Structure 1
Amino acid sequence: MIRKVLALLMALSLLPFAAWAQEEGTAEEPMVFPAFEAENLLDAEHRVTEAIFQEADLTLLNYWASWCGPCAEELPDLGELSALSEGRVQVVGVLLDGLTVSKDGESIERNEQEIEDALALMADAKAEYPLLMPEGFLGMLSSVITAVPTTFLINRDGELLGAVSGARSAEEWLELANSLLAEAETEMEAETETEAETETETEAETEAEAT
């Protein structure tokens, strides 16, 4: 498991975000998001795991910070996205400045003021989606982020489809999401047709051998 996580982080650090989707599209095996568990600041009683990706066709894992102006401006658009996509797309936030290393470097501490500021921003923007603490792999993933906000695109199977640096409008996100989902549906249809053709050929060969 640790080797898989390290390999994923190394791959992400070497791939420019803009080209990530194209580069990974040629891989035999897609990059799959590792298991994780994190606190949801909007629902502390229920921790969130990688199973959350199964709740929508596409998840936008949005890394942002309470001090980031473009991040705050994007919150209302992200809040609208689920409704605009008729539930096919969901947003999950990760608060980059929710945790910090202590001054002595020996422990991780909660940034209560930053957490309070972030929750206030979300409330003002009416952005009602999970906001996770950067724990475990979510915290490790933040080490490859070079711009804020950065959003990772993940399908229902937990496969990493790409990443986008910078803020976008709800319409821009919806256009990108629809494009990715349409491409995935086309690939699935092609695979189904190929499997059907293979099955037909196999049946024909079996009948020929029988005669």
Structure 2
Amino acid sequence: MNILTRGMRHALYAVGLAVGLAAGAACADVSEGPAPDFTLKSNTGENLRLSEFRGEVVMINFWASWCGPCRQEMPLLDELYTQYQPLGFTILGVNVEEDSSKAKKLLEEIPVNFPVLFDNDSEVSKLYDVVAMPSTVLVDRDGNVRYLHQGYKPGYEEAYQQQVRALVRE
């Protein structure tokens, strides 16, 4: 049972984003540990499971259509995906909204080539303790969480690129 209304969740995400940005929480190395597995329906209608991507470097990007920094970041993530996908890298864009119709509309305006998944019940967001929009988790080829980014400001994509480059070389 979900006791938080959509408005309450939006407010919590906004507060989390503000706190993360005010604290300068761009990126944190996190203690290595297994990334929680999940299965979500994708924008193509198929179910995708994180564990199916074992052996690849995976960026999990939690986002929402109402999030300005998310919109700004999407085309940059798509460029990163295009550049590193041939080297065993993928992005799973996880939309956190109850109603995925707004996300689908945004994807018409800002199309991306990587899979977009819908976390309508916020189950996966809870697994990953998402408190800021966007939140980005980098998972290595062995399925371990290696980096966590909360929020987005122009320039963060340079850190993403350095980290992805290092992880695909491992």
Q: Normalising by the residue count of structure 2, what TM-score does the alignment of the two structures yield?
A: 0.71
Q: Secondary structure at the match of 2:76?
A: helix
C-alpha distance in structure 2 between counterparts of 1:172 and 1:139, whole Å: 23
Matched, 1:165 2:154: no
C-alpha distance in structure 2 between counterparts of 1:139 and 1:171, whole Å: 25
Q: Does the Cα contact within 8 Å between 1:36 and 1:136 map onto a contact in 2?
A: no
Shift of 1:70: 0.7
C-alpha distance in structure 2 between counterparts of 1:73 and 1:19, whole Å: 21
Aligned residue number for residue 60 of structure 1: 59
Aligned residue number for residue 107 of structure 2: 122
Q: Secondary structure at the match of 1:156?
A: coil
Matching residue's letter, 2:93: G
Aligned residue number for residue 140 of structure 1: 126
Q: Secondary structure at the match of 1:39?
A: strand
Matched, 1:31 2:24: no
C-alpha distance in structure 1 between counterparts of 2:160 and 2:28, whole Å: 17
Shift of 1:149: 0.3
Q: Secondary structure at the match of 2:58?
A: strand
Shift of 1:55: 6.1
The change in CA–CA distance for 1:36 and 1:125 in structure 2 (over 3 A counts) is same
Q: Looking at CA atoms only, which structure, 1 or 2, has the larger radius of gyration? A: 1
Q: Does the Cα contact within 8 Å between 1:53 and 1:154 map onto a contact in 2?
A: no
Q: Calculate the aligned-residue CA RMSD, in Å.
A: 2.5
The structure showing larger relative contact order (alpha-carbon pairs under 8 Å, at least 6 residues apart) is: 2
Aligned residues with identical type, % of pairs: 25
The change in CA–CA distance for 1:81 and 1:17 in structure 2 (over 3 A counts) is closer
Deviations 1:161-188 (A, max 9, x none): 1211122555442222113444xx3xxx
Deviations 1:76-130 (A, max 9, x none): 1111112222523211011111x2xxxxxxxxxxx2xxx2221222232221221
Aligned residue number for residue 43 of structure 1: 44
Q: Does the Cα contact within 8 Å between 1:153 and 1:160 map onto a contact in 2?
A: yes
C-alpha distance in structure 2 between counterparts of 1:136 and 1:33, whole Å: 16
The change in CA–CA distance for 1:53 and 1:123 in structure 2 (over 3 A counts) is same
Aligned residue number for residue 11 of structure 1: none
Q: Structure 1: 5+ residue runs without aligned partners? A: 1-15, 25-29, 100-110, 186-211
Matching residue's letter, 1:177: V
Q: Structure 2: 5+ residue runs without aligned partners? A: 1-24
The structure carrying a bigger helix percent of its residues is 1
Aligned residue number for residue 74 of structure 2: 75
C-alpha distance in structure 2 between counterparts of 1:158 and 1:47, whole Å: 19
Note the 1:14-25 alignment, pairs <5 A.
18-21=27-30, 24=31
C-alpha distance in structure 2 between counterparts of 1:17 and 1:96, whole Å: 20
Q: Does the Cα contact within 8 Å between 2:39 and 2:50 map onto a contact in 1?
A: yes
**What is the total number of aligned residue pairs between the two structures?**
142
C-alpha distance in structure 2 between counterparts of 1:52 and 1:156, whole Å: 11
C-alpha distance in structure 1 between counterparts of 2:130 and 2:151, whole Å: 11
Q: Normalising by the residue count of structure 1, what TM-score does the alignment of the two structures yield?
A: 0.58
Aligned residue number for residue 178 of structure 1: 165
C-alpha distance in structure 1 between counterparts of 2:122 and 2:103, whole Å: 20
The structure carrying a bigger strand percent of its residues is 2
